[in-house]
A and B are shown apart, each in its own frame.
Chain A
Amino acid sequence: DIQLTQSPSFLSASVGDRVTVTCRASQGITSYLAWYQQKPGKAPKLLIYAASTLQSGVPSRFSGSGSGTEFTLTISSLQPEDFATYYCQQLNSYPYTFGQGTKLEIK
């Protein structure tokens, strides 16, 4: 199975900050990577697919980059509603796997 390792696992930041979350794959997955946001008690929400394509309706402060084994999710200017847990997911090979999550908290 392909393992996805997110760093950091916890991130404390302030409104207006620029934050970056990294997702590393144990083997190459070309651009078959997605990012999701999950708030407590809610289903995940798709933010980015194909590593860098913004899902319709998602604010442009979210961006994704990378290919192969290293990927990043960047939020350019944190808003109060962005405090949540973020997951990466690979869809290159079975079983589709998720990273362990990055919890973004208010400083």
Chain B
Amino acid sequence: QVQLVQSGAEVKKPGASVKVSCKASGYMFTGYYMHWVRQAPGQGLEWMGWINPNSGGTNYAQRFQGRVTMTRDTSISTAYMELSRLRSDDTAVYYCARSSSAGATPDDAFDIWGQGTMVTVFS
């Protein structure tokens, strides 16, 4: 079945980097944009950006520009999100999520989500 499986929980110190993976299965990985969304404990959802798995093109939310890098490895149908210069307020569950329609634009709702990866930043 169509699914996204993310890597396990991480604990990092302030100033470090974290890289979360998201392995896709059950569909053509390069056919659908992949987004990253985070959720701080007890808080709402925050969109971080997308990657086009076909071209590798990216679009990041401005507030994460310079700190976030989204990449992919098409040979293993996996997307990655790396966040650097971590701060305590980066503590959150990080989700990958697929755009619902195959095609040329990323502005479709997110129909498939990973299970989430908890990233904890503390000293």
Contacts and interface: CB of A to CB of B under 8 A. Distances in A.
A and B held together in a complex: yes
Given A32-B107, A92-B107, A101 B44 contact: yes
Contacts, number: 56
Interface residues of B, number: 21
Interface in B34-83: 35, 44-47, 59, 61-63
B47 A96 contact: yes
A43 B5 CA distance: 12
B16 to A, nearest CB: 25
A100 B120 CA distance: 22
Q: Chain A interface residue count: which class?
A: 20 to 34
Interface in A21-61: 32, 34, 36, 43-46, 49-50, 55
Given A49-B108, A91-B107, A94-B61, A43 B113 contact: yes
Contact of A44 (B45, B63, B108): B45
Contacts of B97: 43-44
B107 A98 contact: no
A8 to B, nearest CB: 15
A94 B114 CA distance: 22
Interface of B: 35, 44-47, 59, 61-63, 95, 97, 100, 107-111, 113-116
Interface of A: 32, 34, 36, 43-46, 49-50, 55, 87, 89, 91-92, 94-101
